[in-house]
């Protein structure tokens, strides 16, 4: 973890839905950090698409600092929903 002493294995387990918390972070907190810090391609390398779709379903994109990023992930979420149908 880049700004706290949290093992990477715990972070990955939370992002994959295998664990509830890594330090004080839950899945949505870590997802926020990932999408605000990394490119879409890096996020896809870290988190499987099915899990991204799941996280986006319950994530409030309006809480992101960057409005364009929120719009970008809203678009991604809609495309992931289309792919499943």
- Is 2 a domain residue? no
Here the tokens at position 18 are 């295998």
pLDDT band at 55 (very low <50, low <70, confident <90, very high): very high
Average pLDDT estimate for 50-76: 93
Beta-bridge partners for 22: 25
Structural domain count of the chain:
1
Kindly report the average pLDDT of the chain as a whole number: 91
Is the pLDDT assigned to residue 40 strictly greater than 80?
A: yes
- Is 64 a domain residue? yes
Is the pLDDT assigned to residue 84 strictly greater than 70?
A: no
pLDDT band at 81 (very low <50, low <70, confident <90, very high): confident
- Is 71 a domain residue? yes
Q: What is the pLDDT of residue 77?
A: 92
């Amino acid at each position: 973890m880049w700004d706290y002493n949290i093992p990477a294995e715990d972070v990955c387990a939370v992002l994959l839905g295998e664990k509830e918390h890594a330090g004080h972070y839950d899945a949505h907190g870590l997802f926020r950090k990932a999408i605000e810090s990394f490119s879409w391609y890096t996020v896809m390398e870290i988190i499987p698409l099915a899990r991204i779709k799941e996280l986006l379903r319950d994530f409030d994109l309006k809480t992101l600092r960057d409005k364009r990023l929120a719009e970008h992930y809203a678009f991604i979420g809609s495309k992931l929903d289309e792919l499943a149908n």
